[in-house]
Each structure stands twice: as structure tokens, then as C-alpha cells.
Amino acid sequence: AGAPIICSDDPGGDSADEDASVSENAYYPPICLRVIITVNVDPSTFGLPTVSGGEMERLFRGLLTMGGTADTEFTLIAEEGHLVSYDISPPPYANFQILDDFGTPVSRTENLYSYTSGIWILDNTAAFGGDGTMTDEAEIRISRRNTSTRAVEFSPTDTSMDIRMTVDARDEANSVVTLGIDLNYLDTSLLNTWGIQPFNDGVSLPWISSDGIRMLQEFGYVDLQQLTGMLPLTDVANSFAEQTGSSVSFSDISFTPPSDSGGLNFTHTALVTCAEISPTGFCVEGANAMNGTYPIMLESNSTPINLDVIDLAVRLINETDENGDPLDISFIEKNDLAKILNVLSISKEVNPDILSSYIPESFPSTDITLTILLPTWARSTGDVPDRLELVYRHQGSSPEELGLTGPVPWDWEHALCYETVNCLDSSPDVFCKSDWATCIKVEVDVDLSGLRILEFSGSIEADIEASVRLHVHRIGVPLQAEEIDMLTFESIPSDLIRHIIAIGDRRDGGLIAGLGFNTDIPIGDSNHTLEISNSGFQNFSNAISDEIARTIEQTNIEIQEMVDEASDDIQDQIESQDLPDAFNGIKIDLSGISLITEIGQLTEVTGNELSDKDPLVIGASLEKMTLRLGINDNKELAFITSPAQVTARIAESLASSFFDSSAANTGMRGFSAPIIEEEVPSVGADVEGMTIRPSIKIELGFPRGLGVSEFSSSNGNAEIETIDGRQHLTYILPLCDSDPCEETTDRVSLGFVLGYEFLLIEFIPYLTVILGLITLIIFRRSSKRARKRKKLADEKKRARMAVQQNTSEVLLDDMNLPPPGTDWETAGGWGEDPWEDPYVDPADVYMQGRKSR
């Protein structure tokens, strides 16, 4: 401080008597004395225990490296007539901050690192006799010098404690919750609230790091039982119990055994984790010196509890039912969940801040990680499949995606064929391509089993029945994100659809009752609430059937009303067609139409393997009925439907014996219509964002004698088959393989034929009548001749008896011969008169006469 002092011990230059140029000053130039003193500070000054020198030095270095400071005072003195300059330098690891008013900080450099020391000057040269010694106090704050080792600094973004909560639910019935704490550092203010003050006021320590705890434990500065008793495991456990709705009790907290990651008894590795040659549990040199890189680890385990993983996940994602209560899906068994999760994943963005409630407010800068080890029937959609993990960071956390899926996700990307086993997209009978999420097959069967022309009544009758079968193999349903934003799936197989509906039987109201989903389906003028269960779908089927019956009845009434209103016009048209004058209008009766919807009983699937090979079948059947169009007994033109009566038609049996039924397989013989050729487009549509490209198979049965002479398809989709003498056509519409679907077509050739068999069937009743009449005439004539022959034989027998008896009375009585003496011919005799001579046998005469007749 000030100008440099030039000292001299040359006796020739200290007086004007010796050198005229030198002032007469007894004190100048001064004689300078330099004293180097090493000061040992009493550890008690800082509240430190008395330990050996080297250990004390390392302890003090550790305190400073941990970010602490030590304040000390030195009493400086200058005797009368003395000017004393005190140049005080810190240890090579320390730095000074001058706190008093008369000390001067001096910046110096050592080994390329700067530091601050201090100079204090006490000038007592102007003292008079009796002034005595000058004293002053040097106040110094000692801190860590920044070299290759720097003082530890923790910012508010650094993690003080990292709480790890691990829920081992691999065995749900015996789940164990492990609470662990990685203690990186503790704020001193927090320690003060706990009543832990290892040092007196001479030492200022903003925090204690994990290395610092090991250091204090090594020197006996802190009661670790007091420290562990203050940690918030009880609060965390209670918060977890409240979150899960279960009662959890934990063991006493204990320190975990040391590992490479840290621990209470962790020991640094020389030149690896610490730059010291012989480090201990704490390190005072190097990048990791006295920081929280290797935390203190503590742990506590719960007693085994019965924990429902799905229930815990539901609570974490904060999913509630319509009443605001946590969503209850406990009725779904684990095997069912495995099947469901093999097809879809349940995921939702979760805000980790929900875990902040586990942490007491007095614990700032604390992170918490919740890990759930999953049972075998569930897997995470995250990076580590066997666990769910949610991490809360005190400096701010972003929402995380938590998701569950099954252990063996179902692969829907495969083709389906009608018959081919190893089905490919290129297989000729493929009905669903491998990249189609929705696979639906439709079978339409129309059977026109009978057609009759009733000439005498002027009517035509037809027997018809039909059915439509919807085969659902797999279906991809794009659900609205705002309705169910936690489900992700591309396609659902028929096995799972059946299983889900079947497990709905276990719950009153069906599978999703009370979950807030709207399942109202409009049917007619009202809504039908669909219950996801077997009974629910049967009720739905019955409701549709009832609505169809009601619609048919209402339609019948409306049509009849329309016909009645237009009766005058119809009457005029009928009269212009020369129909009977007694025509009484038109009658329409649709009461014979019975359309029944069908959904079979759905059963649960055993095992976890899911497939879409066996479809879910939904059907509608038009029961067999008879349509009749013609004039009825009331002289009405009637269109009547009625349930078909099962009758045996002899004419069909007779006609079939005249024809080879196998000929119908290649085309029926008869009167053929011209061949029709048409381009048939494929069918497809987008429904609510879902692409549906069904395979449609149509089967048409003709009555005997009616059919086609030719039926072919450019794609090979047409087939003719004869069953019980009747022709059946099968045609499969082309698959949609373009956008739009109408661009994919198939050219179909079709020729109808009126077969000879049909004509014969219609003519056989008339031929039968004619043949019957002829047979009757022949029979009657044969019978008459037989009776005549019998009578002649009887008469001849009697005549012979008369000859044998030789009695004329017999001849007269039995043969009715004229008596003798009468005119033979006029009396009715025939042949020669037997009574005249010569005598003729009357029997012979009689028989001759009979023959002549």
C-alpha cells in the first residue's frame, strides 16, 4: 500500500553529517525486518474438533471446497516507533476476502491461478513516549481458491434429493413398494429446521453435499440417525397410499450398501473418481471434489400388498367414470386384459406434476421417479418394455406418454382367402389384402325355389327365401380422439370382438356400463341403448326385427292407402286392358314377409392367441314365403305374400326323370334369351374415415327348368352348380383394388334360358288329365267286355245244364225261349225254331243267337 519503502542498513547514508544530500532524519532510511510466520488457527474457532494436523487440513479443505467459508480475526500490533506491514497469504487451496476497513486485498498468481491475499500496515512511528503499542484487528473470510478444483456451487435447478419409488408388481398379489432416496446435497437452512448445526457461527456452509455428509460422518460431526429420521419417507408413503387407495406400511429406513454409484460408505477411487492419491469417502481435489456426484443412498421396503396394476395406471392417468370416480375395470380379468392389450395399446399423456404431492413443501429441488415393474400379461409402450416410468423434475417436467400393450401384439397385416391356406395378396381366392385393416365378407343367398303359372285362376306364384350374412374378420375403427384419446389400435380381430362382448355378461349393464360412453343407436323413432354383452346384442337383434316388422306393416298400410286413392285411375286402366268388368281394385298384402336378424351366441376365447380366421357372423333372413300375383275370388288384382307351404310336386319329380341334371352345369337346354354382357364394378366406401372394401358373394337358386345357358366372368368369379336338379349360380364381385373402387371391374356374360323341363313341369298336369281320361275310357270298355264274356259263359253253362236235364221247362224258364206253337221270330226267338222237325238242340240255337248279338 502506498509508495514502496526503501530500506537500508548502510551506516554511511543515514545522517547529514555523513552525506550533505541526505536529510537529517533519525528514522530514515529505515532498517527493515522481514518475518515469515505460519499461523495455525485453533479448530475450535470454527467449531471444529481437534484432530491431527493432516486430517485437520483435509477437513478444512473439504469445507471450503464444498462451498463453505470460514471467518477469522487476527490481532495485529505495532510497537512505538514501528511501522509494521502485515502481508497475510492463504493456504494454496484458499482465497481471502478482506472484511475490515484498513486491510488491502492483493491479487496474486500461483501456478497460473489467481488468488487474493491481504496487506495490513500499522504505522506507529509518530508515537510519543507513553503512547504504547498500536493494535488493530484483521478480519478475513477464507474461501476455496478456484484452481483445477473449484468450490462446489449448487443452483436452484440442481437436484437436492432424488426419490425413487419402485413398485414391483410382477406378482400383483404380493407387490412390494421400494422407496429409495439419492441424497445429493441438503440445504443448510433445511438442516437448521431439523436442529442439525454441525458448526458454530465462524463457519458459513450453504449446503452439505453427499461427500460432505461422508466427511462429517467420518469425523463424527453429525448423528446419522437424526438425519435419516428427518427424511420424508413417511410423507411419500402416505401420499402413495392415498394415490393408490391401498394401505401401505414401510420398514425403517436404512442406508444401502455402497456401489459404484454411491452410498454412505462409498470410497472414491484414486485418479478415477478423485484427483487425490489416497482419497476416502470424500474428495477434496478434482472435478468431483466434495460435490453430489456420488449420492448417499437410503432405502425402505413395504410389506407385500395386493396391487392392481391397471387400477394404479388408471389413477395415474386420472381417468374417471361418469360420476368422477376413478375408472373401475376390475371386472376385467388379467387373461382378458392380456388379449385386449395384444390388440390395442392404452396410452395417455400424463403430467408428472401429480407426483409433486408426494414431496413435502420443505424439500425444494427434489425429483421423484415412479417405476412400476409390470406383470407378464402387460408391456409398456416405452423404451423399456417391462416397466412404466414417470419422472417429476423440480425444475419443470414435460408431459410423458404412459402406455400399456400386450406381451405378444397381434399382427393384423396378413391376407385372407376363401380356401387357400397360405394366403397371399396374389392368391386367386383372396378376399382381404394384407394392408386392409378392415376385412368384411358379405354372403347374399337368394333362393327362388318355385315358380308356378296358374292358368285357371290367372295367377303366378313364386316361392322365395333369402339371407344376408355379414362376416366380420377384422375391423379398424377410427375412434374420435376427444371421446377416447387413450386407445391406440389399427385393427381388431373377430376373436377379440367375440371375447369382449362375452365378458360383458359378467357385469350388470354390459362391459362399458357406467363408464360414460354413449351407446344409443337410433332405431325407428326411438333410440336403443346397446349393451355390450350377449344379451345386449340379442336384444339389439330383436329390436331390429321388431322395427322391420313394424316398418313392413306400416308400409303395407301406406301402399294400400295410395292404391285406394288411385283406384279410379287404376280401374280405367284395367278396363282399357279388357279385364273382367267385375274388377274390384287392387289388394296388397305384405304380411307374409318375415325378416329376422340373427346374431349368434358369442363365447369367450380360451388362451391368449387371437385370430381373425373365424369371423363374427351377423345375419338377416327372409323366411321362405310365397308371392302370388293375380285375380282373387273377390275379383281384385292381388299381390299377396304368405308363408310358404312345404309341398311335394309330382310334376317336378316326373320332369326330372326325363332330363340329365348334370347338363345344367354347363348350361341349360331350352329356349335361350340373348347373351347379356355387363361390366360389374367393385364395391367400397369410406365410412367415418374407415375404408371398407367388402368381398361380396352372391348365390342365386333357380326353380327347376329355369336358369342360364351361359354364365362366365373375365376374372373367373362365376360358377354354375346343380343341386337336387336345380341350377345355382355363384358370383363374387371384384375386389376393390383402386381409388375410386369403381375403376376395378369384372366383365360378366349371362344368358337366361326357359328350359324344356320347366315347360314339361307346367304341361304335365294337363297331360296327366288327358292320360287319365284315356285310361278311364279304356278301363271302362275292358270292364264291359269282361262282364259280357262272363254273362255269356254263365248262360252257356245253364244251356248245357238244360240239355243234360232234357227238360223243356228248364229251357222255357231259364232260357226265356218262346213256347212251342208260337211264331218263333215274332215271339223273340232267334235262329231256327227248335220245336219244328227235324229237332234242333235249343242250347245250340241259344248260343248261336247270343254270338250273333
- Helix (H) / strand (E) containing 402: strand 400-405
Q: What confidence tier does 766 reach under pLDDT thresholds 50, 70, 90? A: low
**Beta strands 459-475; 487-488: pairing state:** unpaired
**Mean pLDDT, range 642-647, rounded to an integer:** 62
**Mean pLDDT, range 621-630, rounded to an integer:** 80
Phi, psi at 385, each rounded to 5°:
-65, -25
Residues 295 and 212: beta-carbon distance below 8 Å: no
**What pLDDT score was predicted for residue 317?**
62
Instruction: Find the range with the poorest average confidence among 54-58, 277-281, 410-414, 760-764.
Output: 760-764
**Mean pLDDT, range 219-228, rounded to an integer:** 80
Q: What confidence tier does 725 reach under pLDDT thresholds 50, 70, 90? A: confident
Average pLDDT score over the chain: 79
**What pLDDT score was predicted for residue 95?**
95
**What pLDDT score was predicted for residue 690?**
72
**What pLDDT score was predicted for residue 605?**
83
**What pLDDT score was predicted for residue 284?**
95
**Mean pLDDT, range 671-680, rounded to an integer:** 85
CA nearest 840: which of 831, 852, 849?
831
557 against 171, higher pLDDT: 171
Please say if the pLDDT value at position 22 is more than 80. Answer: no
Residues 287 and 151: beta-carbon distance below 8 Å: no
**Mean pLDDT, range 445-464, rounded to an integer:** 78
Q: How far is CA 290 from CA 57, 157, 218, 295, in A?
A: 15, 18, 14, 11
Q: What confidence tier does 480 reach under pLDDT thresholds 50, 70, 90? A: very low
**What pLDDT score was predicted for residue 662?**
46
Q: What confidence tier does 585 reach under pLDDT thresholds 50, 70, 90? A: low
The two most distant CA atoms of the chain are separated, in Å, by: 241
Residues 85 and 34: beta-carbon distance below 8 Å: no
Residue 130 carries which DSSP code? T
User: How far apart, in whole angstroms, are the C-alpha atoms of residue 817 and residue 368?
Assistant: 144
What per-residue string of b and e applies to 542-570 under the rule 16 or more CB within 10 Å gives b?
A: ebbbebbeeebeeebeeeeeebeeeeeeb
pLDDT digits 0-9 by tens, 378-392: 888 888 999 999 999
**Mean pLDDT, range 731-735, rounded to an integer:** 90
CA nearest 376: which of 176, 605, 167, 171?
171
Helix/strand/coil for 823: coil
Helix/strand/coil for 758: helix
Q: What confidence tier does 154 reach under pLDDT thresholds 50, 70, 90? A: very high
User: How far apart, in whole angstroms, are the C-alpha atoms of residue 267 and residue 257?
Assistant: 12
Q: Domain residue spans in the chain?
A: 11-144, 161-405, 762-852
Q: What confidence tier does 288 reach under pLDDT thresholds 50, 70, 90? A: very high
Instruction: Find the range with the poorest average confidence among 170-184, 427-441, 677-691.
Output: 677-691
**Mean pLDDT, range 56-60, rounded to an integer:** 87
- Helix (H) / strand (E) containing 142: strand 134-144
**What pLDDT score was predicted for residue 457?**
67
DSSP of 436-504: -S-EEEEEEEEEEEEEEEETTTTEEEEEEEEEEEEEEEEE-----TTT-TTEE-S-EEHHHHHHHHHHG
Q: In what order do the strands lie in the sheet with 113-123?
A: 83-88, 113-123, 104-110
pLDDT digits 0-9 by tens, 649-675: 544 544 454 555 444 444 566 777 788
pLDDT digits 0-9 by tens, 495-545: 888 888 888 887 787 776 766 666 777 777 777 777 878 887 788 777 777
Q: What confidence tier does 818 reach under pLDDT thresholds 50, 70, 90? A: low
Q: What confidence tier does 806 reach under pLDDT thresholds 50, 70, 90? A: low
Q: In angstroms, how far is the first alpha carbon of the chain from the final one?
A: 186
User: How far apart, in whole angstroms, are the C-alpha atoms of residue 732 and residue 734?
Assistant: 6
Please say if the pLDDT value at position 822 is more than 70. Answer: no
Q: What confidence tier does 393 reach under pLDDT thresholds 50, 70, 90? A: very high
Please say if the pLDDT value at position 757 is more than 70. Answer: no
**What pLDDT score was predicted for residue 481?**
42
Q: How far is CA 811 from CA 794, 827, 829, in A?
A: 14, 15, 12
> C-alpha cell of 597?
336378424
pLDDT digits 0-9 by tens, 825-846: 666 555 566 656 555 555 565 5
716 against 640, higher pLDDT: 716
User: How far apart, in whole angstroms, are the C-alpha atoms of residue 485 and residue 401?
Assistant: 12
Please say if the pLDDT value at position 304 is more than 50. Answer: yes
> C-alpha cell of 85?
506491514
CA nearest 489: which of 530, 528, 438?
438
Please say if the pLDDT value at position 279 is more than 70. Answer: yes
> C-alpha cell of 361?
413443501
> Is the entire prediction scored with pTM above 0.85?
no
pLDDT digits 0-9 by tens, 106-115: 999 999 999 9
